[in-house]
Amino acid sequence: MKYIRALLSLLVAGGLTYLLNQPLGPAPALGPFFSPFTGFWQNDEAPQKASSSELKLQGLKGEVIVKYDDNGVPHIFAENDADLFFAQGYIIARDRLWQMDFYTRVTSGRLSEVMGPLALDFDRYNRRLQLPEGAAKLAEAFMKDPDSKLVAESYSAGINAYIEQVEYKDLAIEFKILGYRPEAWSPLKTALVEMLMRKDMNARSDDYRMSNTLAVHGEEVVKDLFPDYPIEESPIIPKGTKWTFTPVAVPKVPEMLKASVAARLDIESENPGIGSNNWAVHGSRTSTGLPLLSNDPHLGLSLPSIWYQMQLVSPTVNVYGVCVPGWPGIGIGFNKDIAWGMTNVGSDVFDFYQIKFKDKTQKEYQHDGQWRPVTMKINEFRVKGEAKTVLDTVRYTHHGPVLYSDGQTPFMGDLPVGHALTWIGPVAVGNSLKALYMINRAKNYDDYRAIMPYLASPAFNVVFASNQNDVAITSAGQLPLKWKEQGKFVLDGANPAHDWRDWIPVEQNPYVKNPARGYVSSANQFPADPSYPYYLGWKFAPGERGIRINERLEKMTQATIDSLRLLQNDNFNVEARRVLPDLLKILEKDSSSKVNPAYQILANWNLRNDPEELGPTIFERWVKELRLAIWDDDFPSTDKKAPMMLPTRDRTWALLQKQPDSKWFDDKRTPKKTETAADIVRSTFAAAIDSLIDKHGRINDESWAWGKAKSTDIKHLVPLFKSFSRMDVINGGGANIVNATTEGGHGPSWRMVVQLDKTWPKAFGLYPGGQSGNPGSRLYDNMIDRWAKGELNELVFLKSKEENHPKIISTLKLGK
Partner 1 sequence: MLYVLIILFSAIAQYFGPWWLMPIVCFVLCLWKADAALKAFGVAFFAAATLWLGYASYQHFANEGLIGQKVADIFKIPNVLVLVVITTLIGGIVSGFAGMAGYYCRRALA
Annotate 490-551 with DSSP letters as a single string.
-EETT-GGGS---B--GGGSSEEES-TTSEEEESSS-SS-TTSSS---S--S-THHHHHHHH
The minimum distance between CB 275 and partner 1, in angstroms, equals 31
Strand order in the sheet with 390-397: 375-381, 390-397, 400-401
The minimum distance between CB 118 and partner 1, in angstroms, equals 16
The minimum distance between CB 38 and partner 1, in angstroms, equals 6
CA 208 – CA 420 distance, rounded (Å): 12
CA 793 – CA 272 distance, rounded (Å): 28
| 627 φ, ψ (degrees, to nearest 5) | -65, -40
Does 179 interact with partner 1 (rule: CB under 8 A)?
Answer: no
Q: 361 to each of 192, 373, 408, how far by Cα in Å?
A: 34, 11, 16
Interacting span for partner 1 (CB under 8 A) from 5-13, 56-64, 277-285, 430-438:
5-13
CA 335 – CA 340 distance, rounded (Å): 9
| 464 φ, ψ (degrees, to nearest 5) | -145, 145
DSSP structural state of residue 41: G
Contact (Cβ atoms closer than 8 angstroms) between residue 297 and residue 332:
yes
Of 3 and 245, which CB lies nearer to partner 1 in the complex structure? Answer: 3
The minimum distance between CB 168 and partner 1, in angstroms, equals 8
Interacting span for partner 1 (CB under 8 A) from 24-32, 276-284, 440-448, 463-471:
24-32
CA 75 – CA 320 distance, rounded (Å): 9
Contact (Cβ atoms closer than 8 angstroms) between residue 500 and residue 351:
yes
**Backbone dihedral region of 87: left (phi > 0), alpha (psi from -120 to 50 degrees) or beta?**
alpha
Does 16 interact with partner 1 (rule: CB under 8 A)?
Answer: yes
Of 733 and 775, which CB lies nearer to partner 1 in the complex structure? Answer: 775
Interacting span for partner 1 (CB under 8 A) from 43-51, 79-87, 224-232, 497-505:
43-51
The minimum distance between CB 721 and partner 1, in angstroms, equals 6
The minimum distance between CB 19 and partner 1, in angstroms, equals 9
The minimum distance between CB 1 and partner 1, in angstroms, equals 10
Does 17 interact with partner 1 (rule: CB under 8 A)?
Answer: yes
Q: How many residues form the binding site for partner 1 (CB under 8 A)?
A: 43
Of 35 and 379, which CB lies nearer to partner 1 in the complex structure? Answer: 35
Active site residue 725: no
CA 754 – CA 445 distance, rounded (Å): 17
Q: 457 to each of 161, 547, 738, 750, how far by Cα in Å?
A: 30, 26, 25, 20
Of 37 and 245, which CB lies nearer to partner 1 in the complex structure? Answer: 37
The minimum distance between CB 196 and partner 1, in angstroms, equals 25
Contact (Cβ atoms closer than 8 angstroms) between residue 145 and residue 151:
no
Does 32 interact with partner 1 (rule: CB under 8 A)?
Answer: yes
Contact (Cβ atoms closer than 8 angstroms) between residue 151 and residue 85:
yes
* Closest to 787 measured CA to CA, from 305, 103, 91: 305
- What is the Cα Rg of the chain in Å? 28
Does 118 interact with partner 1 (rule: CB under 8 A)?
Answer: no
The minimum distance between CB 788 and partner 1, in angstroms, equals 20
**H-assigned helices in 166-206:** 173-178, 187-202
The minimum distance between CB 775 and partner 1, in angstroms, equals 5
Per-residue three-class SS string for 306-327: CCEEEEEEECCEEEEEEECCCC
Within 628-744, strands assigned E span 712-716, 726-729
CA 410 – CA 398 distance, rounded (Å): 21
Footprint of partner 1 on 662-721 (CB under 8 A) = 720-721
Residue positions in the annotated binding site? 348, 351
Does 13 interact with partner 1 (rule: CB under 8 A)?
Answer: yes
Interacting span for partner 1 (CB under 8 A) from 37-45, 59-67, 88-96, 235-243:
37-45
Q: Are strands 726-729 and 302-303 parallel, antiparallel or unpaired?
A: unpaired
- The helix/strand/coil state of 462 is strand
Footprint of partner 1 on 45-84 (CB under 8 A) = 45-47
Partnered with residue 320 across adjacent β-strands are 311, 334
Of 107 and 725, which CB lies nearer to partner 1 in the complex structure? Answer: 725
Of 184 and 727, which CB lies nearer to partner 1 in the complex structure? Answer: 727
466-489 exposure pattern, b = at least 16 Cβ within 10 A, e = fewer: bbebbbbbbbbbbbbbbeebbbbb
Kindly tell me which residue out of 131, 152, 173, 178 binds partner 1, with binding defined by CB under 8 A. Answer: 173
Of 35 and 468, which CB lies nearer to partner 1 in the complex structure? Answer: 35
- The helix/strand/coil state of 698 is coil
Of 51 and 531, which CB lies nearer to partner 1 in the complex structure? Answer: 51
Interacting span for partner 1 (CB under 8 A) from 36-44, 98-106, 140-148, 706-714:
36-44
Of 172 and 471, which CB lies nearer to partner 1 in the complex structure? Answer: 172
Indicate the residue type of 74: P
Of 716 and 801, which CB lies nearer to partner 1 in the complex structure? Answer: 716
Kindly tell me which residue out of 641, 722, 758, 805 binds partner 1, with binding defined by CB under 8 A. Answer: 722
Of 94 and 199, which CB lies nearer to partner 1 in the complex structure? Answer: 94
Residue positions in the annotated binding site for Ca(2+)? 348, 351
The minimum distance between CB 4 and partner 1, in angstroms, equals 9
Kindly tell me which residue out of 244, 393, 604, 723 binds partner 1, with binding defined by CB under 8 A. Answer: 723
Does 30 interact with partner 1 (rule: CB under 8 A)?
Answer: yes
Interacting span for partner 1 (CB under 8 A) from 8-16, 390-398, 403-411, 639-647:
8-16
Of 2 and 252, which CB lies nearer to partner 1 in the complex structure? Answer: 2
Does 5 interact with partner 1 (rule: CB under 8 A)?
Answer: yes
Kindly tell me which residue out of 78, 129, 171, 177 binds partner 1, with binding defined by CB under 8 A. Answer: 177
CA 60 – CA 228 distance, rounded (Å): 55
- The helix/strand/coil state of 286 is strand
Does 44 interact with partner 1 (rule: CB under 8 A)?
Answer: yes
Indicate the residue type of 106: V
The minimum distance between CB 559 and partner 1, in angstroms, equals 40
Does 31 interact with partner 1 (rule: CB under 8 A)?
Answer: yes
Footprint of partner 1 on 736-795 (CB under 8 A) = 775-778, 780
Instruction: Spot the catalytic one: 154, 276, 302, 305.
Output: 276
CB atoms inside a 10 Å sphere around CB 50: 9
Contact (Cβ atoms closer than 8 angstroms) between residue 650 and residue 736:
no
Does 9 interact with partner 1 (rule: CB under 8 A)?
Answer: yes
| Residues sharing a CB contact under 8 Å with residue 432, sequence separation 6 or more, in sequence order | 138, 194, 327, 454, 455, 456
173 exposure class (CB count in 10 Å sphere: 0-12, 13-18, 19+): buried
CA 287 – CA 278 distance, rounded (Å): 19
Residues that bind partner 1 (CB under 8 A): 2-3, 5-6, 8-10, 12-14, 16-17, 20-21, 30-32, 34-47, 173, 177, 720-724, 775-778, 780
Residues annotated as catalytic are 276
